[in-house]
Each structure stands twice: as structure tokens, then as C-alpha cells.
Structure 1
Amino acid sequence: MPLLDEHGRAVADAWVRVADDAPLPEGPAILTAARLRAEDLSGRNAPLGIALDPATAPEAVADLLPRLSLVTIALPKAKDGRAFTQARALREHAGFRGEIRATGHVLPDQWRMLRRCGVTTVEVPEGADLAQWRRSFDVVDIAFQPAQDSGSALGLRRQRLRVA
């Protein structure tokens, strides 16, 4: 699947999703929490990532985060907002500074809000119009609440509240 970075550029994806019973590749690998806890990966030099289940609270994997470079969060359907909460919690409460990738049923108009919650990359469906994804990112350029990204200007009312 194509991968877009925080600036809307298509980027190469070096990460490999690895099943619990499959051998580890030499390069960057995305594992489940169960496998990360079960195996001794202390001697591994390649980056590790975790596929976070939508029902898993980031606090449940907080002890694993210092070893990780990537966390994938899944949107099983467009109306499921748990990934937004997970991304925000990873940044604000767990202090995760690595890549957070949104996967699954992500819509172009959700991308900007995911970005504001701390998501850095998004997997887009095969054959998606990347120009449409880039346009949707620029549709709303004002925000009403503070966020993890620094690119959005706060709305006039929010600016007044911040000054007061």
C-alpha cells in the first residue's frame, strides 16, 4: 500500500509485518505485542514496530515503547475513532516520539485530524488518488483546539481564550 508522510509525499515503506509464527526478517519488522513480550529481541539491531490493536490502550504497551521506532494504529472502519485517541495518548501520556502510522479504513478527510492527534504517516488504499489525499489535507486550515502538530493556526475564539 502507498504510504504518505506528514507533508503528503509518497514515501517508501521498508517495514514488514510479521506473523507471530513467521521468522524475523533482517530489516525493520512490525510485530504483535504478544511476540514482543515473548521473544528476547535485545540483540537485534534492526528497528522494531508494534501493530496496536484498536482495543488495546497505549498504557498496556507503555513498557515496550522505548524499544520501538514505529506504532501502527488501525481504523477498522471510518466511524471508529479509537485510533485518534490511541495516537494522542501515545504522544501526550506515553511520550512516544517515533513514527505513528494509521492503517486500515482511513478516509482522505480524516488525515488532517489524525495528523493533529500525532499520526506521522498513513497507509492509503492501492489505486487511491494521491492528489485527492493531498487536497483533502489543505481543506480545513484552522483548528479549534491545541494538537500534537504545530502547523495549524488556532481559530480566532481559541486565540482569545489562550490570551485571556
Structure 2
Amino acid sequence: MVGRKQMLNQSNPQVIINREVVANRWTRVVANEEGVVSVPSEGAVLVPYQYWLNNQTELAGREIAVCFAPDDEPESLPVDANTFAMIACDFPAFTDGRGFSIGRLLRERHGFTGELRAVGDVFKDTINYLSRCGFTAFDVRADKDIVEAAKGLDDFTEHYQSSVAQPLPLFRRRGLVA
């Protein structure tokens, strides 16, 4: 059984933001086994998106960020995405890639320009692909070396496909260089 303190703060002390390892100022809260979310009374707090939807009035005036679960729909966001300084997407398992799509939708369809953070099962092998979908921050899995994980951003020097990070595919970029 996971202790109460662990259920409240699921964040690592450090994260990668804009290619740098920095102190994590956000406290991530998740629901316990009974589905109860306990939000600290002060500080920057990352809450589940569904919790925020149901408790917007209670959370008004707080420094709040939301975390989309894999089955949450960005289209259901009732406010401009840029209302939040940070939005996170949860990757509960390496095999669950729905967060990639959520991140890309937030950037391309909803025009989100703030910090887009990947949380959960995040490690070196996924970071480069996450950045191509628009993620700028990474809460690396606790059992992984965060400095080593940051090196994953440089695993590839060139990409064929277009992405949030590079809207033109390689064949179009090559035609521009004469």
C-alpha cells in the first residue's frame, strides 16, 4: 500500500525544462485508492484535469496546473489552454502513447504556448519523441538518471517527418537550401 505522503506528492525534486535540469516547483497530487484528491493549501499544484473540472471554484485564485490522463479529451477544456502556465500529460506506462497525441493537440489545435510537461513513465528513450510533439518539460521516472535522460533530447540530429518542433518535413527543408 502506498503511504499518504506518497499519494500527495508524485513529483520528483528535479525536472528537465527547456533542456535544463532544474528544481521542480510544482507539487503533483493524484487520487488515492478511494478516488480522493487532497490538495495542499499553498504552493504551485498540479492536479488531475478531471479534479480541476469539478472543483474550479474551490481552486480559483491558486497557482494551478492540470494533468491530462490518457483518457481525457483536450476538446473538453472549457477555458483557453493558455489560462494555465503549465499543462502536464500523464504517461502511466511506456506502452500507452495517448499522451503524445494529447500534447500535440494542445499545441496545434488549442494553441497552448506554455510549459507542456510529460509525467509518469518518462525516460531517455522517449524524451526526443515527446519534444517533437511539443513537450518542453519532463518529469523523469524516479529510478532513472535525469542528467542521462536529458541527453535523449540530442539522440537524433535530423528528422524526416514534420512535427510540432519542425513543421516542415526534410524533403521540403532540403528544397529551401540552395
Q: TM-score, normalised by structure 2?
A: 0.75
Q: Partners of 1:56 and 1:154 in 2: how far apart?
A: 29
The C-alpha deviation readout for 1:102-150, integer Å capped at 9, x for no partner, is: 0111231211111111111101123523342233221211012222225
Q: TM-score, normalised by structure 1?
A: 0.81
Does 2:22 correspond to 1:6? no
Shift of 1:23: 4.2
The AA in structure 1 aligned to 2:145 is D
The AA in structure 2 aligned to 1:159 is R
Are 2:134 and 2:165, in contact at CA under 8 Å, matched by a contact in 1? Answer: yes
Bigger drift between 31-40 and 135-144 goes to 31-40
Q: Partners of 2:63 and 2:128 in 1: how far apart?
A: 27
Q: What's the Cα RMSD here? A: 2.7
* Secondary structure in structure 1 of the residue aligned to 2:101: helix
Does 2:173 correspond to 1:159? yes
Q: Using a 3 Å threshold, how does the CA distance of structure 1 residues 83 and 142 change in structure 2: closer, same or farther?
A: same
Q: Partners of 1:61 and 1:43 in 2: how far apart?
A: 16
Identity of aligned residues (%): 26
The AA in structure 1 aligned to 2:17 is D
Are 1:31 and 1:51, in contact at CA under 8 Å, matched by a contact in 2? Answer: yes
Bigger drift between 70-79 and 28-37 goes to 28-37
Q: Partners of 1:26 and 1:158 in 2: how far apart?
A: 49
Partner of 1:52: 68
Partner of 1:101: 117
Q: Partners of 1:122 and 1:88 in 2: how far apart?
A: 15
Q: List gaps (5 residues or longer) in structure 2.
A: 1-11
Alignment of 1:105-120 (within 5 A): 105-120=121-136
Partner of 2:83: 67
Q: Using a 3 Å threshold, how does the CA distance of structure 1 residues 21 and 82 change in structure 2: closer, same or farther?
A: closer
The C-alpha deviation readout for 1:26-74, integer Å capped at 9, x for no partner, is: 2211122333233315751x42111111011211225363432211111
